[in-house]
Amino acid sequence: MSMHDDSIYATVTPEPNESRGSHGSYSSDHYRQPPQSSGRGCTGFFLGCGVVLIIMLVGGFLILSVIVGGVAQLSASVGELANVSLDDALTEKHVSGNRKADDKIAILTIDGIITGAEDGFVAKQIRQIIKDDNVKAVVLRVDSPGGTMSGSDYYHYLLKKMKRERDGFPIVVSMGSIAASGGYYVSMVGDEIFAERSTITGSIGVVVPMFKAVELSKKIGIESMPITSGPLKSMGSMMQPMTDEEKVVWERLIDDNFNRFKEVIREGREEFAKDPASLDKLATGQIYTATEAEANHLIDRIGFLDDAVAAAMNRAGLDEKNSKAIKYRPKLKFLDVLLEARTPDNILGKKTLLDLTTPRLYLLCPNVLPILDE
């Protein structure tokens, strides 16, 4: 033990009036003791417990609020559905007009690359509209650079079927930033077509993307040796050069589907039915501005979504006082509501990338990336 340990020894200085003992030492009552620390006791313990309890109560209240809010949002969305099965139903979002009205203008959206998914969001919207007698007209909102020939033709077929089964109710098309190639193809169901001032449309034509890696495979020592039942079975392979015979086959497929594309346009646009030659001049694959499209009768008017909704209401004999415009959302699970998750058809996933690199017929505006849903 150190002689200089201040915690054990303390220096004592005599006060002026202190008296010495008989042996010259100071009396023991003049020694000062170091201060003693006092514990918190029960009060501090209960205070700490109280703080922890308050934090737990506040946290629990916040979590409960989020849960209750999510349930309320989900219930409100489901509560707006009418005359449809809840198993396959989409939720509705009010856009404009009288929220309490029964009669609806349905905004049916086609966004991004068109793949023609048979059970995708577009097909579900169409099925729901067919079942809902309160829908009196449709605004087809197209914001797409196109997609596959088969997918575009399938959506066109479904839209025509919807109109037929609903006794020919009005369909007004509203083009977004782009409605080209396959996006223009599906627009041909419209009784009236609006395009925004900055819309790109047209690109009437068919393309088969081809990728060749013959020279690259030679450099890295890879040789393709397919065993086929016939000389055309492996046509389109990126590991083999295209033969003249293969080129003739591809051109025949393209011409046949190109003629189908122009036939759909003539069916949808009276001007071109009367004058097919005027369509041939425009169907070069060129894209057009909204102004050019209007001048060439590819569209009817320049206007925005609100203008298209107003036109649809007018054609259906409705107005904003006795009707409402709604749009559809994919049916969400409870966790999706909390996280505001979305599941559109046009997510550019692995399957879509593989599809885009497979030789097939496309109605696709060249050099345009997929446009994702908001």
Scanning the structure block, which residue is given the tokens 């086609």?
Answer: 110
Q: How many residues are given for the chain? A: 374
Tens of pLDDT, residue by residue over 33-86, are 555 555 555 666 666 666 666 777 666 666 665 565 555 554 544 444 444 444
Clarify whether 85 is annotated catalytic: no
Domain boundaries, the chain: 80-205+280-364
Confidence of residue 119 (pLDDT cuts 50, 70, 90): confident
Clarify whether 351 is annotated catalytic: no
Taking all residues of the chain, what is their mean pLDDT, rounded to a whole number?
79
**Stretch (H or E) spanning 287:** strand 287-289
Catalytic residue among 77, 144, 152, 181: 181
CA geometry: angle 88, 90, 96, nearest 5 deg: 155
CA 66 vs. chain centroid, Å, equals 24
d(CA 109, CA 311) in angstroms, rounded, equals 17
d(CA 197, CA 115) in angstroms, rounded, equals 27
**Average pLDDT estimate for 221-242:** 83
Tens of pLDDT, residue by residue over 103-116, are 999 999 999 999 98
pLDDT in the model for residue 34: 52
Catalytic residue among 233, 247, 333, 351: 233
Whether pLDDT at 142 is above 60? yes
Which superfamily does CATH assign the domain made up of 80-205+280-364 to? Answer: 2-enoyl-CoA Hydratase; Chain A, domain 1 (3.90.226.10)
Nearest to 182 by CA among 362, 351, 347: 362
